[in-house]
Amino acid sequence: MNAAAPLASSTASQRFRDGYGRLLEWVVIVLMVVLAVEVMLGIGFRASGRALSWYDEVASVLLAWLTFCGSALASVKRAHIGCPELVAQLPWRLRRVTAIVAQFLVIAFFALLGGVGAWILPVLATDHLVSLPAVPMSVVQSVIPIAAVLIIVAEVTWLMDLLRAGAPAPAAEDRSLAEGLH
């Protein structure tokens, strides 16, 4: 299901996904602006001969958060790499099963990633950023379980739509299930 071409009858999961996507867009925009301002400040201070000791490390952290939150946004919009053309060649029932299994695998992967990410946070609680010792690494690395949950939420909404999808009309080519894969 392509986010760029909404269906005529919007499902509850689609409406949720649209709002969720707008929220994630704002999070990504804010992170991009903060990163851009932080880097510009770093460049300005460096050019004036008074380099900020923390700007490189904070820029790296902001980039990681931007990347993970951007991945969650890509999940909402179905913008990850996939091969829908291959799946679209399958008969409808096999296409549907393939799409559903793929969704479960993606959700399982991110559940595992989020679980391991959350498990490692207490281990990192005693480490801190080098240039900002007041910031624990567990705060920095918390992006992994947070993003995993954000991605799982997006993927579950797609899974709900896949599970509800009925057989296509006999004359219609239904490629929406293949588009649901990434």
Instruction: State if pTM tops 0.75.
Output: yes
Q: Give pLDDT, residue 166.
A: 74
Res 165: pLDDT: 80
Here the tokens at position 139 are 């705060």
Say what the pLDDT of residue 83 is.
77
User: 44: which 2 tokens?
Assistant: 């300005």
Per-residue confidence in pLDDT tens, the chain, 182 aa: 444 444 445 788 899 999 999 999 999 999 999 999 999 999 999 999 999 999 999 999 999 999 999 999 999 998 887 777 888 888 988 988 998 999 999 999 999 999 999 999 999 888 999 999 999 999 999 999 999 999 999 999 999 998 888 777 665 555 555 555 55
Q: Where are the domains of the chain?
A: 12-179
Residue 21's pLDDT is: 96
pLDDT number for residue 87: 82
pLDDT reported for residue 178:
53
Residue 38 near residue 90, CB atoms below 8 Å: no
